[in-house]
C-alpha cells in the first residue's frame, strides 16, 4: 500500500488511539523484571490502578487480551458444573457465555434483543426463582461494545440485594473502564474485568481483574483448573511489586503514563468528556435520519455509538468506502448484527475536533455509498459542541 499522508482515523471502539506520551513511555529499554527498578514500577501501577476501578481491593494485571481476564474471573471463583447467569446483551456477552461453557460451567443465558442492557428486573426475577441458590455468579457486560448499550450495574447490584441472593457479581468493563463511570466497591462487584486497549488508551496486551474480599474467599474453594490465571501466586508476588512470570514490562511503562494522564485530566472530567461526545454523536445520527441501535435512552453508551442502516444497505460497503476515501476505520457489525449496523468509537484519547473529523468522514461516506440520509449531522454535532463547553 502506498503511503497515505496525515493520520489514520482509528475510530473503531477499541483498540483506540494511543496518546503520544504513552507511546514515548513504551519506547524505553526493557529492564530486569526481578530487579529493584521493576519493583518500583510494579508497585506504582498496581496501586495506581485502584482509583480507576474505584476500589481499595487488589487489582491483578495479566499480559493477555481481555478474553484472558474473562477466563481468569471464572476459573478463580467457580467450580465445574456451577451455574452462572448471563444476559444476552450482544456479541461479547455471547462470547463470554461460550467461554464459560467450554470451561465446564452451566451458563444460562437470559435472552435479549441486542438493543437493551441487562434488565435489573430480570436479574431479580431469575434470582428469586432460584430458591436453592444454585446460581453461583451473575455475569454482566457493562458496556456492550457490539451494540452501543451500557448496562446499569448499580441497579443490577440493587436487584441482587432485593432478591437476597448470595451470587457473586462479575462485570466486564473492557470497553467502559476509563470512559464511563464505574464503581467496583460502591456496587460491590466481586470481579471486574478490564482490558488495556479501549478506554485506557494503551495498545492491546494487558488485561485486569479487580477483586473483592468475597471473590478472594471464593477463590480458596473454587475447583476449576487454573494455573497461568491463578490469583494466588500473582497476589503473593505483587505484594513486593513483582510477577510470578515475565510481565509485559513495556506495556507497564505505558500503563504508568496512561494512569498519570487520567489523573491529570481527572476521572470525572474524562467521563464528562465522553458523555458530551456521545451526545454530539447521537445528535448527528438523528439529524442524518438514521436510527440508533440502543433503544433505551438510559442506556446510551458514551464510549461508542452503533448506527442501524436502512434495510438493503450493507454496513461493510459503507465502511469500505470510508476507509478507501478518507482513511478512517469504523467498527463493523459483529455476530447477529453483521451487515446491519456500524459503530463509531468515541472513547479513549479524543477531543472535539477528532469527533468532528470522524463525523465528517461518516457523513461524506453515507453520501458516497448511496445510503439514504439527510445532510446536517455534522452541523448538529458542531452546534451542540459549541453551545456546550466541556
Ligand atoms: C473488546 C471486548 C472484549 C474482548 O477483549 P479482547 O481484548 O479482544 O480479548 C470483551 N468484552 C468487551 C465488552 C469488549 O469490548
CATH for 304? 3.90.1150.10
Same domain membership, residue 293 and residue 214: no
Looking at 210, 242, 263, the residue that finishes a domain is 263
In a domain, 3, yes or no: no
**DSSP 8-class letter at 300:** B
Mean pLDDT, the chain, whole residue set = 98
Looking at the structure, do residues 246 and 336 belong to the same domain, yes or no? no
Q: Are residues 182 and 322 in the same domain?
A: no
Q: State CA 162 to chain mean position distance.
A: 27
Average pLDDT over residues 246-266: 98
Helix, strand, coil tally for the chain in percent (to 5)? 45, 15, 40
**Among candidate residues 314, 340, 313, 345, the one with its CA nearest the CA of residue 329:** 345
Q: Which of 85, 88, 107 is nearest to 98 (CA)?
A: 107
Evaluate the omega torsion of the peptide bond into residue 15 and state whether it is cis, within 30 degrees of 0: yes
Whether the predicted pLDDT of 75 surpasses 80: yes
pLDDT for 388 equals 96
> Does 144 lie in the same domain as 80?
yes
Distance (angstroms) between ligand 1 centre and the Cα of 67 equals 6
The answer to whether the CB of 205 is under 6 A from ligand 1 is no
Q: Are residues 167 and 230 in the same domain?
A: yes
- Same domain for 351 and 211, yes or no, is no
Do 111 and 176 lie in one domain? The reply is yes
Nearest-5° angle of CA 94, CA 98, CA 101? 135
In a domain, 125, yes or no: yes
Helix (H) or strand (E) segment spanning residue 287: helix 267-288
Q: Could you tell me the three cell numbers for 195?
A: 482490558
Whether the CB-CB separation of 88 and 111 falls below 8 Å is answered with yes
249 within a domain of the structure (yes/no): yes
DSSP states of 297-360 = GGGB-SSEEEEEPPTT--HHHHHHHHHHHH-EEEBPP-GGGTTTEEEEE--SS--HHHHHHHHH
- The CA 73 to ligand 1 mean position distance, Å, reads 14
Our count of domains for the chain comes to: 2
Tell me the three cell numbers of residue 359. 463525523
Q: What is the pLDDT of residue 2?
A: 84
Same domain as 176, residue 53: yes
67 touches ligand 1 (CB under 6 Å): yes
pLDDT of residue 60: 98
Give helix 231-238 / helix 213-221 axis angle, nearest 10°. 130
* Residue 4 counted as domain residue: no
Three-class DSSP category at 148: coil
Same domain? 143 vs 248: yes
Please report whether residue 41 resides in a domain: yes
DSSP helix/strand/coil, 149: strand
Whether residue 14 has its Cβ less than 6 Å from ligand 1: yes
Q: Is 65 in the pocket of ligand 1 (CB under 6 A)?
A: yes
Can you give the CATH number for the domain in which 241 is found? 3.40.640.10
Using a 10 angstrom Cβ sphere, with 0-12 exposed, 13-18 middle and 19 or more buried, the burial of residue 171 is buried
Q: What is the pLDDT of residue 1?
A: 64
- Which CA distances in Å does 381 have to 132, 301, 358? 52, 16, 11
pLDDT in tens, 158-213: 999 999 999 999 999 999 999 999 999 999 999 999 999 999 999 999 999 999 99
| Unique residue bearing C-alpha cell 481468569 | 72
Question: 1-57: per-residue pLDDT in tens?
Answer: 689 999 999 999 999 999 999 999 999 999 999 999 999 999 999 999 999 999 999
Average pLDDT for 60-64: 98
Please list the alpha-helical segments (H only) found in 27-166. Answer: 36-53, 66-77, 91-102, 120-129, 153-163
Instruction: Using the predicted structure, report yes or no on whether residue 287 has a pLDDT greater than 80.
Output: yes
pLDDT in tens, 118-149: 999 999 999 999 999 999 999 999 999 999 99
Q: What is the CA radius of gyration of the chain?
A: 21
pLDDT digits (tens, 9 = 90+) for 300-334: 999 999 999 999 999 999 999 999 999 999 999 99
Q: Say yes or no: 218 and 182 in one domain.
A: yes
**Helix, strand or coil, per DSSP, at residue 171:** strand
Domain ends where: 223, 241, 263? Answer: 263
H or E element that contains 259: helix 249-265
Q: Are residues 179 and 101 in the same domain?
A: yes
With respect to residue 2, please indicate whether it lies within any of the assigned structural domains: no
Angle at 200 (CA atoms; ends 275, 58), nearest 5 degrees? 110
- Among 12, 13, 14, name the best residue to mutate to test ligand 1's pocket (greatest count of ligand atoms within 8 A of Cβ): 14
d(CA 15, ligand 1 centre) in Å: 10
Residue-level pLDDT at 104 = 98
pTM for the full predicted model? 0.98
- Nearest atom in ligand 1 to the alpha carbon of residue 13 is 15
Examine the domain organization and report whether 242 and 311 are in the same domain. no
Domain with 278, as residue range(s), is 9-16+267-387
Whether residue 1 is contained in a domain is answered as no
Last residue of a domain, one of 263, 289, 304: 263
Does 350 have pLDDT greater than 80? yes
Amino acid at each position: 500500500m502506498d503511503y497515505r499522508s496525515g493520520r489514520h482515523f482509528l475510530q473503531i471502539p477499541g483498540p483506540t488511539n494511543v496518546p503520544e506520551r504513552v507511546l514515548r513511555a513504551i519506547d524505553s529499554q526493557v529492564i530486569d523484571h526481578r530487579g529493584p527498578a521493576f519493583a518500583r514500577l510494579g508497585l506504582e501501577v498496581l496501586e495506581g490502578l485502584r482509583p480507576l476501578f474505584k476500589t481499595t481491593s487488589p487489582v491483578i494485571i495479566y499480559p493477555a487480551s481481555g478474553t484472558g481476564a474473562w477466563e481468569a474471573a471464572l476459573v478463580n471463583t467457580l467450580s465445574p458444573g456451577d451455574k452462572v447467569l448471563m444476559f444476552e446483551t450482544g456479541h461479547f456477552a455471547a462470547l463470554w457465555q461460550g467461554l464459560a461453557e467450554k470451561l465446564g460451567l452451566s451458563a444460562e443465558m437470559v435472552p435479549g434483543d441486542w438493543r437493551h442492557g441487562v434488565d435489573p428486573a430480570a436479574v431479580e426475577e431469575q434470582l428469586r426463582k432460584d430458591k436453592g441458590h444454585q446460581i453461583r455468579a451473575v455475569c454482566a457486560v457493562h458496556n456492550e461494545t457490539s451494540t452501543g448499550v451500557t448496562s446499569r450495574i448499580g441497579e443490577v447490584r440493587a436487584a441482587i440485594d432485593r432478591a437476597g441472593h448470595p451470587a457473586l457479581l462479575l462485570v466486564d468493563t473492557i470497553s467502559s473502564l476509563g470512559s464511563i463511570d464505574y464503581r467496583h466497591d460502591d456496587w460491590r462487584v466481586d470481579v471486574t474485568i478490564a482490558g488495556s486497549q479501549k478506554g485506557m488508551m494503551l495498545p492491546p496486551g494487558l488485561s485486569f481483574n479487580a477483586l473483592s474480599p468475597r471473590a478472594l474467599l471464593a477463590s480458596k474453594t473454587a475447583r476449576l483448573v487454573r494455573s497461568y490465571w491463578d490469583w494466588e501466586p500473582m497476589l503473593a508476588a505483587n505484594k513486593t511489586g513483582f510477577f510470578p512470570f515475565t510481565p509485559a514490562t513495556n506495556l507497564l511503562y505505558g500503563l504508568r503514563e496512561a494512569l498519570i494522564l487520567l489523573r491529570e485530566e481527572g476521572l470525572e472530567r474524562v467521563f464528562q468528556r465522553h458523555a458530551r461526545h456521545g451526545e454530539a454523536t447521537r445528535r448527528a445520527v438523528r439529524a442524518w435520519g438514521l436510527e440508533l441501535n440502543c433503544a433505551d435512552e438510559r442506556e446510551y453508551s458514551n464510549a461508542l455509538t452503533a448506527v442501524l442502516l436502512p434495510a438493503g444497505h450493507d454496513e461493510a460497503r459503507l465502511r469500505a468506502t470510508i476507509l478507501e476515501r478518507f482513511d478512517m476505520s469504523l467498527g463493523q457489525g459483529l455476530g447477529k448484527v453483521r451487515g446491519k449496523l456500524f459503530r463509531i468509537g468515541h472513547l479513549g484519547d479524543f477531543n472535539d475536533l477528532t469527533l468532528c473529523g470522524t463525523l465528517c468522514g461518516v457523513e461524506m461516506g453515507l453520501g458516497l455509498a448511496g445510503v439514504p440520509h439527510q445532510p446536517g449531522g455534522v452541523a448538529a454535532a458542531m452546534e451542540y459542541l459549541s453551545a456546550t463547553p466541556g
